[in-house]
Amino acid sequence: MNTIVGRITQNAKINTLKNDKKVVNFSIAINYSYKTKQGERKEQTTYYNCSYWINAKIAEFLTKGTLVELSGRISSSAWIGKDGEIKSGLNFHTSNIKLHGGIQKTEFNNEPTASPQNNNSNPFSDETDDDLPF
């Protein structure tokens, strides 16, 4: 299990598959900074395409700029683009989402509260070791 922390690059989207299963897709950016031997500060950004299958209601909280802490599994993919160039990407199969920042408590219809202040229970967590269905 890996944990990453980054900011969401655009509002999450819910995609419904043929079997009516819903997946939340979003991407995050992680910034790394370091100094070269010459003392020059460099910054590098890594992007992850994320998928979350457990509860589609989280999508409304996954908005551009939100700081999130994700647990899950990393994979990579490569393909040939329409322009004939080789493309690649990092994917994060998310099993647990923690929201950080100014999100207010929100009640879902008879469901647990989704709030970064409520760290004792997380309605957007999958505590099982089952593989995600893809």
Give residue 52's Cα distance to chain centre: 7
Q: Mind listing the pLDDT tens digit for each residue in 14-26?
A: 999 989 899 999 9
Establish if 124 belongs to a structural domain.
no
User: How many domains does the chain fold into?
Assistant: 1
Q: Mind listing the pLDDT tens digit for each residue in 76-114?
A: 999 999 999 999 999 999 999 999 865 444 333 223 334
* CB of 20 closer than 8 Å to CB of 48: no
Establish if 14 belongs to a structural domain.
yes
Q: Mind listing the pLDDT tens digit for each residue in 37-81?
A: 999 999 999 999 999 999 999 999 999 999 999 999 999 999 999
Establish if 127 belongs to a structural domain.
no
Establish if 132 belongs to a structural domain.
no
Establish if 129 belongs to a structural domain.
no
3 state SS for 118-133: CCCCCCCECCCCCCCC
Burial (CB < 10 A; 0-12, 13-18, 19+), residue 12, is buried
What's the rounded Cα separation, in Å, for the pair 122 and 114? 7
Cβ neighbour number for residue 103 with a 10 Å cutoff: 15
Establish if 131 belongs to a structural domain.
no
Q: pTM of the prediction? A: 0.70
The total number of residues shown for the chain amounts to 134
Q: Could you list the residue range(s) of the whole structural domain that residue 7 is in?
A: 2-114
CATH code for the domain of 9: 2.40.50.140
Establish if 43 belongs to a structural domain.
yes
Half-sphere exposure of 43 (CA within 13 A, CB side): 4
Establish if 76 belongs to a structural domain.
yes
